[in-house]
């Protein structure tokens, strides 16, 4: 049996219970140090809400392609449907629908890698409300986990709160259609034959809250090999992002991960990306530094990092921006 990431019961954390926060903070240290990935139960999102969300997601992807492309995202508006995304300059075997907080075009954040939500007119009634309710629920879980993560690093729980007021977080719907030639589970980073659902990458922001259905596909790198993360009914999968690795000064890792394609079944997932505000500059937190622990990264403008990373979704601009570009030797 291949080792799996730990399952942590976060009951009470989202409600701000101090004892629960202390307990979960202690339990987070090992998986965040060793994996950068863990799963959570006790998150407080009702099963009925999740079921409505999954039904609405599946119904959207079953729409005719013309109806989905009516809300196609572009470089000028990053929210909407897309089926030509690149990762590591390679086409992924997937289709997506991205949306963020409801806002209008006058909001300055839309000049970065955000957009204006496009709600498909052909979708079932209530689609917008179901999506925004799930986004709000995921954000509540993500911000509560961020506080527990700060505490686990020996920081005040609110050490990073202001970096997310307002954040640039968004929710993505993924569908991976059955693939006639999927790459094998032990494929190298760039398979010589076959397709991957998503090629290897790290997430740019702070952390990702992932809903995945019963079809396994997510793989995370550990010990030089990719491990398939088995879905746990009712659980959410959490992986840390690049900015948290920088803030923690390498104490915690942003895991390399990818998604397999399946030759038999369609797979659906929905990652919520907890991202800072565009005015945030990310650097190792001063309370984690000292004479024997110098800063390992220079300061990173989140707006620049996010804009450069998302540009590679659309075209091959050469190597993607990475936090290693900011590492101090």
Write the pLDDT tens digit of every residue in 216-272.
999 999 989 999 999 999 999 999 999 999 999 999 999 999 999 999 999 999 999
Class of CATH domain 7-326: mainly beta
Indicate the domain borders of the chain.
7-326
Q: Give CA–CA dist 253/233, Å, rounded.
A: 26
Per residue in 43-89, pLDDT (tens digit) is: 999 999 999 999 999 999 999 999 999 999 988 899 999 999 999 88
Nearest to 327 by CA among 289, 288, 297, 299: 297
The token pair that represents 183 in the structure block: 């790459």
Does residue 90 contact residue 199 with C-beta atoms inside 8 Å? yes
Q: H or E segment at 306? A: helix 302-311
Q: For 284-323, how does the pLDDT look when each residue is reduced to its tens digit (9 = 90+)?
A: 999 999 999 999 999 999 999 999 998 767 766 667 899 9
Alpha helices in 43-171 (DSSP H): 47-61, 65-69, 127-152
Residues 6+ apart with CB under 8 A from 177: 93, 94, 95, 266
pTM of the model: 0.96
């Amino acid at each position: 049996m291949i080792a799996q990431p730990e399952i942590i019961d976060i009951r009470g954390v989202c409600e701000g219970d101090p004892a629960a926060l202390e307990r979960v903070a202690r339990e987070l240290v090992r998986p965040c140090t060793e994996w950068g990935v863990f799963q959570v139960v006790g998150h407080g999102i009702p099963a009925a809400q999740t079921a409505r969300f999954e039904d609405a997601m599946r119904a959207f992807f079953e729409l005719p392609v013309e109806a989905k492309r009516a809300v196609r995202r572009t470089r000028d508006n990053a929210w909407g449907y897309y089926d030509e995304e690149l990762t590591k300059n390679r086409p992924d075997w997937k289709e997506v629908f991205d949306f963020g907080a409801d806002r209008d075009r006058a909001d300055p954040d839309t000049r970065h890698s955000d957009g204006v939500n496009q709600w498909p007119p052909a979708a079932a009634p209530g689609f917008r409300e179901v999506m925004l309710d799930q986004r709000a629920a995921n954000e509540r879980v993500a911000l509560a986990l961020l506080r527990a993560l700060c505490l686990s690093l020996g920081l005040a729980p609110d050490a990073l709160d202001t970096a997310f007021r307002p954040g640039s977080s968004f929710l993505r719907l993924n569908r991976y259609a059955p693939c006639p030639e999927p790459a094998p589970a032990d494929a190298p980073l760039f398979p010589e034959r076959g397709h991957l659902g998503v090629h290897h990458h790290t997430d740019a922001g702070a952390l990702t809250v992932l809903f995945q259905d019963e079809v396994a596909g997510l793989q995370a790198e550990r010990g030089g090999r990719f491990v398939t993360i088995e879905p746990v009914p009712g659980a959410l999968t959490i992986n840390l992002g690049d900015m948290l690795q920088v803030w923690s000064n390498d104490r915690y890792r942003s895991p390399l991960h990818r998604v397999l394609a399946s030759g038999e079944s369609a797979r659906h997932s929905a990652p919520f990306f907890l991202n800072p505000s565009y005015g945030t500059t990310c650097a190792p937190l001063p309370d984690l530094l000292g004479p024997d622990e110098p800063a390992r990264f220079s300061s990173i403008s989140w707006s620049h990092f996010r804009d450069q990373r998302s540009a590679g979704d659309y075209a091959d601009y050469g190597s993607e921006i990475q936090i290693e570009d900011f590492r101090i030797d």
